[in-house]
Chains A and B, each alone.
Chain A
Amino acid sequence: MEDMIFVENVSYEYVQGTPVLRNVSLTVPKGAYVALLGANGSGKSTLARLLNGILTPKTGRVIVDGIDTQDGPGAMAVKKRIGMVFQHPDNQIVATTVEDDVAFGLENFNIPPLEIEDRVTQALRETDLLPLRARPPHLLSGGQKQRLAIAGALAMEQPIVVLDEATSMLDAKGREDILRLVRRLYDDGTTIIMVTHHMEEVLEADRVVVLDQGRVVMTGHPREIFRHNRRLREFNLDVPLISQVAGILHERVPAMPPEAVDPSEIVMSLRELARPRVRNGEKNWESPQGTERLPLIEVEALSHWYLTGTPLAHQGLKHADLTVRAGEAVAIVGATGSGKSTVMQHLNGIYRPQRGRVLAVGVNLGDRNPDIAQVRREVGMLFQNAEDQLFEQLVGDDVSYGPLQMKLDLREVRRRVRYGLEMVGLDFEQFKDRPIFALSGGEKRRVALAGVLALEPKVLVLDEPTAGLDPASAHDVLRRLHHLKQQGVAVVFVTHNLEEVLNLADRVVMIQDATTQGSYATADLIDHPEIISRHGFTLPPLLRLQQMLRADGYAVHGRTPEEVVESLGEDLEMLAERWGGGVQ
């Protein structure tokens, strides 16, 4: 096969002395599907930008379809061949309607108008955007925006498509749509380069290139890569939970294969070692029946209309019920546009109930003159991409904004800033005078969280607290939330990531079509995952695995890979005894 992309000994630095890429070499055959995997700061986005000539290498060369990107007139030719899809859906749309945006690239390459029309229509049909062709971009969902970016590449009939973390801002559905679409492009012969830090997305590729600190550190088939569990974590990458289960099982029972990417593989290998159990998986754990604590937030029959009294009025919420008690974590799960953010913004009085009842920390928000200041103080709220909302130059100043608004005396303000920073794991003395711009993305998110915690809220409400973070930072944020929960703070978080729910939530409220679907204990959802599917959500692999194991008679129950393996109990010991020593 001929090489479509040829990268030879490329180094690159934005600032002299701090190389972002060091001596990277890479070849991508025509029609391949290559995943570029790396944590934040590994240089993967820079490499993507070198491929289409936006950046040109300081040393070495990049050759695309036989054209050197450094060759002046060749630059345009390279751009004609490579379609780019970037991370932020909003920042790559130029025009004010869907179809005009698809046409933008074609106009730049002087395609005659009649042909543009044909190509635009065709590209929109292939991306299922045809019914939305006249829609302005701000009324599209994130997934639709990314599909629009891909439609732009399709219309250009580009043989290579580079996706630079294109799914990191999307919900599960949007992500699936994009991955399916990319798969179809690949089947039609397009060369795909997928830049990502999400391991699940790598499974689609036929080759993975792992970058760490500007160097290529691993290459191979996804399965081979997954086997190196520990090494991947050293590069700040997460390993899919199923692969983690396989890894732990292999440690305990060496006869189990060390790698698996799908629940069925683990189940099959278990069947090879031991016949499925006859006894049906009975419960060997206690349902956590916590004492009924005082409700801090009660929402009843809430509905909400946006832009009432204008021609653009629409109902954002039809019916929501929700109770949050002290010291528990509640997840609100739903797709983009399901109304979950609307519910959330009622909890601290940003929105007042138009119909229905909201009682927050003892204040009825439907009253004529509720004590909003008290609600805002006791119900802390962290919005999406909270790091964008920081406004001071120094960390300590930003965190002190809330306490200063409360007109506390300076000693108390200082104490609270210290408390906030320490709760998110940032040392007060070390961080209070740091300039915010010098922090990493994950640290900024933590500073924003500290700013809310400095109010010492009883309830903490978070909108997609881990979205857009790399796995290491995301884990860290979840760990902090766990800790807060133990301290007695009620945590409410809105998410579309069900794995996160398993990790943190005691209860789950699913929301669909702007209506809440009742509240379930996470423990019950683990035992009855069919509830999740019934409400139209895809089961996280870890739950699918447990469902399958239970069908085989194993009484498994766990939120994490470790817990799942542990819950195998004596079955595991038996296996270890029988297959433990010396086999394979």
Chain B
Amino acid sequence: MIEDFEILRYITIGQYLPGRSIIHRLDPAVKLFNAMVLILTIAFLTSYASNLLALVWVLALVSISGIPMGYSLSGLRPAVWFIIALLVLELLFSPVRGTVIWQLGFLHVTSYSMRLTVTSLVRLIDFILLISVFTLTTRTNDVTRAMERLSKPLQYLKIPTRELALIMTIALRFVPTFAMEMERLMKAQASRGGGLTKASKWNAVAQARARLPLILPLFLIALRRAEDLVIAMESRGYVPNQERTMYRQYHLVTRDWLSAVLTMVICVGLVVV
């Protein structure tokens, strides 16, 4: 926290990397649909073979999209210890099934828990990479519009999809703004000698107390910004739930249909393997 004040480095959400790959050019809603279908399918894969094939396909997608692998995986970094802990628990404490490979007291490593752990890890990497491919090749507003379009049927259930999409847009729009604000608060506090006291990492109370000077002002800043934003939106004629036209118009072309069909075929294939 003290040495590295570049918060934006760890925020890959909402960071669009411009490019000309076919994935960049896919219709965002189709892209989102494909990603969701793939993620759902992968979630149900249990065998080594099918997971391996899924990973190969996901890696292929990453290389087609042209985004650096390391960068798309950097979203994992803050959670890496948590993930390791989870995997270890899964490895050691899963129900005893299949052949026992290793045993110590109540701890078992079985062929079942082994498979579970490996597939969990592969699955996690698949998910992170897929989400990165989607968000890094799609402009933020296209992301929210894609969600809006895919959820259109829900309108008939009286769910205000357009409003939800706008809320999403604004939230994403302010992620970098608040990250920068947070960065400045951290620097200001550090300049006054904060963050240099060596409270133990495990002393939760001390750690939480040390964060308070960041959270409180950030909260106040957020409230004030929200107030300003509401006035600005109202001034520009925004009224919730009123009929509005849509600037962006989307037309599906052949490659969009093809990509959807291809995704479907691959998913069916993965399930069958």
Which residues of A line the B interface, CB within 8 A?
A: 49, 52, 54, 76, 79-80, 82, 84, 86, 88, 90-97, 99-100, 103-113, 116-117, 120, 134, 136-138, 152, 156, 306-307, 310-312, 345, 348, 350-352, 372-373, 376-377, 380-384, 386, 388-391, 401-402, 405-406, 451-452, 455
6 of the cross-chain contacts (CB-CB < 8 Å) are A94-B170, A110-B245, A113-B248, A307-B6, A307-B9, A405-B192
The 3 A-B residue pairs whose C-beta atoms are closest, nearest first, are A91-B228, A405-B193, A92-B232
Residues on B with C-beta less than 8 A from A377 are 193
Q: Tell me if B248 and A79 are in contact (CB < 8 A).
A: no
Q: Tell me if A107 and B193 are in contact (CB < 8 A).
A: no
Q: Which residues of B120-178 are within 8 A (CB) of A?
A: 139-141, 144, 166, 169-170, 172-173, 176-177
Residues on B with C-beta less than 8 A from A383 are 184, 187-188, 191
Q: Tell me if B247 and A116 are in contact (CB < 8 A).
A: yes
Q: Does B98 contact A (CB under 8 A)?
A: no
CA distance A406 to B184 in the complex (A): 21
Q: Tell me if A80 and B216 are in contact (CB < 8 A).
A: no
Residues on A with C-beta less than 8 A from B166 are 94
Q: Tell me if B236 and A108 are in contact (CB < 8 A).
A: yes
CA distance A116 to B248 in the complex (A): 9
Tally of A-B Cβ pairs under 8 angstroms:
177
Which residues of B line the A interface, CB within 8 A?
A: 2-3, 5-6, 8-9, 14-17, 67-68, 71, 74, 139-141, 144, 166, 169-170, 172-173, 176-177, 180-181, 184-185, 187-194, 196-197, 212-214, 216-217, 220-221, 224-225, 228-229, 231-239, 242-249
Q: Tell me if A310 and B225 are in contact (CB < 8 A).
A: no
Q: Tell me if B184 and A54 are in contact (CB < 8 A).
A: no
Q: Tell me if B232 and A136 are in contact (CB < 8 A).
A: no
| B227 CB, min distance to chain A CBs, angstroms | 8
Q: Given A94-B229, A116-B245, A372-B196, A152–B187 Cβ distance below 8 Å?
A: no
Q: Tell me if B247 and A90 are in contact (CB < 8 A).
A: no
Residues on A with C-beta less than 8 A from B190 are 350, 376
Q: Given A120-B247, A307-B9, A96–B140 Cβ distance below 8 Å?
A: yes
Residues on A with C-beta less than 8 A from B236 are 79, 84, 94, 104-105, 108, 152, 156
Q: Tell me if A95 and B173 are in contact (CB < 8 A).
A: yes
Q: Given A106-B245, A110-B244, A306–B196 Cβ distance below 8 Å?
A: no
Residues on A with C-beta less than 8 A from B139 are 96-97, 134
| B68 CB, min distance to chain A CBs, angstroms | 6
Q: Tell me if A311 and B173 are in contact (CB < 8 A).
A: no
| B257 CB, min distance to chain A CBs, angstroms | 23
Q: Tell me if B191 and A350 are in contact (CB < 8 A).
A: yes
Q: Tell me if B232 and A94 are in contact (CB < 8 A).
A: yes
CA distance A377 to B193 in the complex (A): 7
Query: In the complex, which residue of chain B has the Cβ closest to the Cβ of A306?
Result: B6
Q: Tell me if B173 and A96 are in contact (CB < 8 A).
A: yes
Q: Tell me if B172 and A96 are in contact (CB < 8 A).
A: yes
Q: Tell me if B187 and A95 are in contact (CB < 8 A).
A: no
Q: Tell me if B245 and A389 are in contact (CB < 8 A).
A: no
Query: In the complex, which residue of chain B has the Cβ closest to the Cβ of A103?
Result: B247
CA distance A373 to B234 in the complex (A): 48
Q: Tell me if A49 and B237 are in contact (CB < 8 A).
A: no
Q: Tell me if B15 and A312 are in contact (CB < 8 A).
A: yes
| A308 CB, min distance to chain B CBs, angstroms | 9
Residues on A with C-beta less than 8 A from B238 are 104, 108
Q: Given A86-B231, A113-B249, A388–B217 Cβ distance below 8 Å?
A: yes
Q: Given A52-B235, A108-B237, A402–B192 Cβ distance below 8 Å?
A: yes
Q: Given A76-B237, A113-B246, A116-B247, A376–B193 Cβ distance below 8 Å?
A: yes
Residues on A with C-beta less than 8 A from B247 are 99-100, 103, 106-107, 113, 116-117, 120
| A333 CB, min distance to chain B CBs, angstroms | 21
CA distance A156 to B235 in the complex (A): 12
CA distance A92 to B193 in the complex (A): 34
Residues on A with C-beta less than 8 A from B15 are 312
Q: Which of B71, B170, B242 contacts A310 (CB 8 A)?
A: B71
Residues on A with C-beta less than 8 A from B180 are 138
Q: Tell me if A95 and B169 are in contact (CB < 8 A).
A: yes
Residues on B with C-beta less than 8 A from A79 are 234-237
| B132 CB, min distance to chain A CBs, angstroms | 12
| B17 CB, min distance to chain A CBs, angstroms | 6
CA distance A107 to B233 in the complex (A): 12
Q: Tell me if B187 and A90 are in contact (CB < 8 A).
A: no
Q: Which of B187, B213, B217 contacts A401 (CB 8 A)?
A: B213
CA distance A93 to B249 in the complex (A): 21
Q: Tell me if A311 and B229 are in contact (CB < 8 A).
A: no
Residues on B with C-beta less than 8 A from A137 are 173
Q: Tell me if A92 and B191 are in contact (CB < 8 A).
A: no
Q: Tell me if A90 and B212 are in contact (CB < 8 A).
A: no
CA distance A61 to B216 in the complex (A): 40
Q: Which of B6, B9, B193, B225 contacts A406 (CB 8 A)?
A: B193
Residues on B with C-beta less than 8 A from A76 are 237, 239
Q: Tell me if B192 and A100 are in contact (CB < 8 A).
A: no
Q: Which of B193, B214, B225, B242 contacts A91 (CB 8 A)?
A: B225
| B271 CB, min distance to chain A CBs, angstroms | 35
| B253 CB, min distance to chain A CBs, angstroms | 18
Residues on A with C-beta less than 8 A from B196 are 372-373, 376, 405
Q: Tell me if A107 and B217 are in contact (CB < 8 A).
A: no
Residues on A with C-beta less than 8 A from B169 are 94-96
Q: Tell me if B71 and A455 are in contact (CB < 8 A).
A: no
- 5 other contacts beyond A91-B232, A96-B140, A136-B140, with CB at 8 A cut-off? A86-B228, A91-B224, A106-B247, A380-B191, A452-B191
CA distance A359 to B232 in the complex (A): 46
Q: Tell me if A388 and B221 are in contact (CB < 8 A).
A: yes
CA distance A582 to B224 in the complex (A): 58
Query: In the complex, which residue of chain A has the Cβ closest to the Cβ of B197?
Result: A405
Residues on A with C-beta less than 8 A from B8 are 307, 312
| B140 CB, min distance to chain A CBs, angstroms | 4
CA distance A386 to B249 in the complex (A): 43
CA distance A125 to B188 in the complex (A): 39
CA distance A455 to B68 in the complex (A): 45
Query: In the complex, which residue of chain A has the Cβ closest to the Cβ of B5?
Result: A350
CA distance A84 to B232 in the complex (A): 8
| B4 CB, min distance to chain A CBs, angstroms | 10
Query: In the complex, which residue of chain A has the Cβ closest to the Cβ of B180?
Result: A138
CA distance A455 to B187 in the complex (A): 16
Query: In the complex, which residue of chain A has the Cβ closest to the Cβ of B16?
Result: A136
| A169 CB, min distance to chain B CBs, angstroms | 12
Residues on A with C-beta less than 8 A from B234 are 54, 79
Q: Which of A86, A93, A97, A351 contacts B5 (CB 8 A)?
A: A351
CA distance A117 to B246 in the complex (A): 10
Q: Tell me if A105 and B5 are in contact (CB < 8 A).
A: no
Q: Tell me if B188 and A311 are in contact (CB < 8 A).
A: no
| B226 CB, min distance to chain A CBs, angstroms | 9
